[in-house]
Amino acid sequence: MKMSKKLMVLPGKKPKLDRRDPAATPGAEGKQAAVELVEKHTKRMAALQYLLYAESKRAVLIVIQAMDAGGKDGVIRHVMTGLNPQGCKVTSFKVPSAEEMRHDFLWRVHKVVPAAGEVGIFNRSHYEDVLVVRVHKLVSKDVWSARYRQINAFEEMLAQNNVTILKFFLHISRGEQKKRLIERLDDPTKQWKISDADFSERRYWNDYMAAYEDALSQCSTPWAPWYVIPADHKRFRDLAVSQIIVETMEGLDMKFPKPSADLEKIRTTLVNSV
Ligand code: ADP
């Protein structure tokens, strides 16, 4: 069975996060095999990105969401190393600026959706507006609960305009998060990443899980599916994400455009020239 089939949240269904094991590694055959497969997928992705760019008919948008220390940065680094930076852009969504706050929540998102021929990666996304915003009651329930429908309509419009959307939730356990945060405390090369919020947010774990449960069940659609990636094991996480990207891009049936120039004429001219 394809990885994308295995890990997709079926539209209209609940992801049942509490019943999904974040330490699962379905279909994987050990660490070394996973590392080799990720390498293979990375090369394949580079070739597919080249084709996407050459064709310039559609864009690919990859949304990555996770709890703190869930591995967003790691996935972006490992999985995307093969991509050509010319046609690929990562956008990180932070607390909205004063200007962004004066607009609707999708304003800052729409502006950075990749153009035809490009791959765009969202490190966090418009989903923060039904996650952190809901957990911390930054707007009323009326406001955030209307957003699922608004997000679906927005993503449907993008899909109808040739944006292929893939959304990954990197699912780690609370225990694994604790382990990673403690490792950070002890690692001088990672201490800079630590914020007070990472630790205080842990108290809201169950609220976040409830918010993710709703976001994933309400917004996994045929045009923009959510995938729940078991992410306690980093190698498996990278393997699953890279495999789903490759499977999806291969399904796009992309073709190199026909050359616009008369190649035979150019060949003859070139051959006969000095
Ligand atoms: P990251 O954790 O992604 O590496 P930061 O430590 O800068 O990066 O965290 C970004 C913060 O911005 C997160 O706490 C996230 O919840 C917050 N954020 C993102 N989008 C929104 C939003 N729309 N409203 C409120 N907070 C947001």
Asked whether residue 1 carries a pLDDT value surpassing 90, the answer given is: no
d(CA 174, CA 167): 21
For residue 78, pLDDT over 90 is answered with no
Could you tell me the distance, in angstroms and rounded to a whole number, from the CA of residue 157 to the centre of ligand 1? 25
Residue 74 Cβ inside 6 Å of ligand 1? The answer reads no
* 97, two tokens: 């600026």
Token pair listed for 137:
């009651």
pLDDT at 80: 83
**The predicted structure's pLDDT at residue 222:** 98
Based on its alpha-carbon atoms, the radius of gyration of the chain, rounded to whole angstroms, reads 21
Ligand 1 near 96 CB (within 6 A): yes
Closest CA to 3 of 39, 41, 31: 41
**Mutation to probe ligand 1, out of 67, 77, 90, 94 (largest number of atoms < 8 A from CB):** 94
> Residue 197 Cα, ligand 1 centroid: separation in angstroms?
10
Does ligand 1 lie within 6 Å of residue 104's CB atom? no
pLDDT on residue 181: 93
pLDDT at 43: 96
Check if 200 has its Cβ closer than 6 Å to any atom of ligand 1.
no
Residue 181 · residue 201 · CB < 8 Å: no
Q: Which residue, 223, 227, 57, is CA-closest to 155?
A: 223
Residue with tokens 């959706």: 113
Strands (E), the chain: 59-66, 88-92, 119-123, 163-171, 226-230
Residue carrying the six token digits 């914020």 = 195
Report pTM.
0.96
pLDDT per residue as tens digits for the range 189-247: 988 988 888 888 999 999 999 999 999 999 999 999 999 999 999 999 999 999 999 99
Q: What is the Å distance from ligand 1's center to 106 Cα? A: 15
Q: Is the CB of 128 under 6 A from ligand 1?
A: yes
Query: CA angle, 179 as apex, 176 and 180 as ends, to 5°?
Result: 90
State what percent of residues in the chain have pLDDT above 90: 91
Average pLDDT rounded to a whole number, residues 56-78? 96
The ligand 1 atom nearest the CA atom of 126: 23
Distance between start and end Cα atoms, the chain:
57
Q: What average pLDDT score do residues 46-58 get?
A: 96
Residue to probe by mutation, ligand 1, list 124, 137, 172, 193, most atoms within 8 Å of CB? 124
Q: Provide mean pLDDT across the span 177-199.
A: 91
Q: What residues have CB less than 8 Å from 133, skipping those under 6 apart? A: 139, 144
Q: Is the CB of 108 under 6 A from ligand 1?
A: no
Segment 251-266, tens digit of pLDDT:
999 999 999 999 999 9
Tokens of 84: 């050509």
Residue 92 pLDDT class (50, 70, 90 cuts): very high
